[in-house]
Amino acid sequence: MSLTAPGGATILDHVTASVPASGITVLAGPSGAGKTTLLRLCNRLEVPTSGRVLFHGEDVARLDPLQHRRRVGMVFQRPTLFPGTVRDNLAVADPSADDDRLGQVLEQAALDASFLERVGDDLSGGEAQRACIARTLLTRPEVLLMDEPTAALDPDARESIERLGRALADGGLALLWVSHDLDQVRRVADRTIVLIEGRIATSTEADAFLRAPSASEPTDHAEESSG
């Protein structure tokens, strides 16, 4: 599978990879390597120039995009809550969900039912990200795509989201997690896919990248929009 930008630049170059149906698979690599773009392809927010993206053997280009995004949920780098309460935000994902179901997904996201009446603007960064995760969990996804979900959070909130990710994976949900942070990769990954310059790294390149001195790279906002 490849993706070329409108101007002709290659963003992803003949990428072939598979993601297990369980555990946490981390997409790692230098800034600008195409990690976020690859994640967006999995959710059909981007379309490959050539090749296919398969979900359970089906070409996602042939699937209803809204239904696909309910099965393959996505959590973005910066938590984005709509105006109103957490209850209002959860209702966007499933207007028919009763309080028992809402409380269940909040508990899955390490929040309690009292958060239903909290206004989104009053939440901390970590609480807002967990509320976004709860909103995504309402659709009962089979896979959860995590695009640098802790990049905008302080260390305590980052640790909380990492614990949450592990709990969800241990509960049977498959996670595909983009991270620039090598320390985080080492903490959370059950399997790692390394991208370098838009292609899958060789085993030698991947080993060298993952063995590099521990240091969190700054977030590359250009990658969010272009790969």
CATH of the domain at 49: 3.40.50.300
Q: Is residue 205 part of a domain?
A: yes
Domain with 168 in it = 3-75+140-226
pLDDT tens for residues 134-166?
999 999 999 999 999 999 899 999 999 999 999
Cα–Cα distance for residue pair 182/159, rounded to 1 Å: 14
Domain-embedded: residue 170:
yes
Query: Does the pTM exceed 0.85?
Result: yes
Domain count along the chain: 1
Could you tell me if residue 99 is inside a domain? no
Establish if 58 belongs to a structural domain. yes
Q: Is residue 80 part of a domain?
A: no
- Gap between the Cα atoms of 77 and 129, Å rounded: 9
Rounded CA gap, 46 and 59, in Å?
14
Dump pLDDT digits (tens) for 191-223: 999 999 999 999 999 999 999 886 444 444 334
The pair of structure tokens assigned to 91 is 């209702």
Q: Are 101 and 116 in contact (CB under 8 A)?
A: no
pLDDT digits (tens, 9 = 90+) for 107-124: 999 999 999 999 999 999
The verdict on residue 149 lying in a domain is yes
1, 41 contact by CB (below 8 A): yes
